[in-house]
Amino acid sequence: MPLPKYHQIYLILREQLQEGRFDQGVPGEHVLAGQFNVARITIRKAMEMLVADGLVSRRPGRGTHPVHPATTAPAPKSHPAPPRHQKANLTGLLENIVNMGLRTSVRVLESAVVTATPQVSEALRLASRSEVLKAIRVRSTDDGPLSFITTYVPASLATFDHAELQHKPLLMLLEEAGVELGAATQSISAKLADAVVARELDVAVGSALLSVTRVVFDTLERPVQLLQGLYRPDRYQYQLQLSRVGSIDARVWVSEELSAQFH
């Protein structure tokens, strides 16, 4: 049995709150009702669940705001390089990106220099309120939209423009700008489509999508790109080739190659 609409919206808003999307305040019921194409009572039920979870506070005349848990001042963070066993060799990844670029078309929805959020600053090891190039693109095949990709690059490396983003993969543009790409870390999970992503990928709001988060490093192990990709699982497949290594008593599986297939 599918989840009630208000519960789907609750899950989507909860994800967005966890991403820091509403630091300036959650949109009002009227705005959200229009985004999700539902009645305001449906939004109100979702909001009540968020309040019950302690994720937002609602005050008459002041709107709805995220509730940030009280924390003590953290110790200064060091940023060691990611462990080598978590890194992906970029050779196969670059080949796959080039192949995808040849077989798909891309539409750039947004390309602008913005102030990095705390989450983006941490991933790219940037000082607070540093500037980054934020690009949002939708990639499609002949069958329709495939992925909704949001990428962030330190502004100092963003020497390319909107038109170039429409015709070349971002990693290729970074290489052309003189960046020597080294390795990447990547995590894969699932995420629900919000109203904007659902419209661009031609799926229902609340549909499950494959979520890929990737940080790309240069040869000096400095982060040069953060990618947050949402893929339609019916059109995209991610494959990882594994091999057994180690002695008989302590064998483990390790990855040898990363690839992706889409249709």
4-19 pLDDT tens trace = 888 888 888 888 887 7
Using the 3D structure, point to which of 32, 66, 100 is the last residue of a domain: 66
Dihedral of CA 18/21/25/27: which sign?
negative
Tell me: do 141 and 49 sit in the same domain: no
Residue 76, domain member (yes or no): no
pLDDT the model gives residue 169: 84
Residue 106, domain member (yes or no): yes
State if pTM tops 0.85: no
More confident residue, 125 or 90: 125
Amino acid in the structure at residue 135:
A
CATH code at 42? Answer: 1.10.10.10
Task: Tell me how many helices (H) and strands (E) the chain has.
Answer: 8, 11
| Mean pLDDT in residue range 137-142 | 90
pLDDT the model gives residue 61: 77
Tell me: do 198 and 167 sit in the same domain: yes
Residue 72 has pLDDT above 60, yes or no: no
Residues 6 or more apart from 214 whose CB is under 8 A from it?
Answer: 184, 185, 186, 187, 225, 226, 227, 229
CATH code at 171? Answer: 3.40.1410.10
Least confident of 55-59, 151-155, 230-234, 251-255: 251-255
Task: Quickly tell me which residue has 């506070």 as its tokens.
Answer: 57
More confident residue, 20 or 146: 146
Tell me: do 47 and 147 sit in the same domain: no
pLDDT the model gives residue 20: 77
Tell me: do 98 and 227 sit in the same domain: yes
| Mean pLDDT in residue range 246-253 | 56
pLDDT the model gives residue 63: 86
Tell me: do 179 and 253 sit in the same domain: yes
Tell me: do 95 and 157 sit in the same domain: yes
How does the average pLDDT of the chain come out, rounded?
A: 81
Which domain, by its residues, includes 196?
84-262
What pLDDT band is residue 84 in, cutting at 50, 70 and 90? very low
Residue 246, domain member (yes or no): yes
pLDDT the model gives residue 66: 87
Residue 77, domain member (yes or no): no
Query: Could you give the CA distance from residue 92 to residue 215 in angstroms, rounded to a whole number?
Result: 16
pLDDT the model gives residue 245: 60
More confident residue, 188 or 68: 188
Task: Quickly tell me which residue has 């909001």 as its tokens.
Answer: 47
Query: Could you give the CA distance from residue 251 to residue 74 in angstroms, rounded to a whole number?
Result: 39
Tell me: do 50 and 130 sit in the same domain: no
What pLDDT band is residue 2 in, cutting at 50, 70 and 90? low
Tell me: do 25 and 113 sit in the same domain: no
Tell me: do 158 and 99 sit in the same domain: yes
Residue 78, domain member (yes or no): no
Using the 3D structure, point to which of 66, 95, 116 is the last residue of a domain: 66
Residue 219, domain member (yes or no): yes
pLDDT the model gives residue 232: 92
| Mean pLDDT in residue range 15-26 | 82
Residue 72, domain member (yes or no): no
Query: Could you give the CA distance from residue 181 to residue 219 in angstroms, rounded to a whole number?
Result: 6
Checking phi first, is residue 79 left (phi over 0); if not, alpha (psi -120 to 50) or beta? beta
Tell me: do 94 and 211 sit in the same domain: yes
Total domains present in the chain:
2
Tell me: do 55 and 100 sit in the same domain: no
Amino acid in the structure at residue 240:
L
What pLDDT band is residue 116 in, cutting at 50, 70 and 90? very high
Using the 3D structure, point to which of 19, 38, 66 is the last residue of a domain: 66
Residue 152 has pLDDT above 50, yes or no: yes
Residue 213, domain member (yes or no): yes
Tell me: do 134 and 249 sit in the same domain: yes
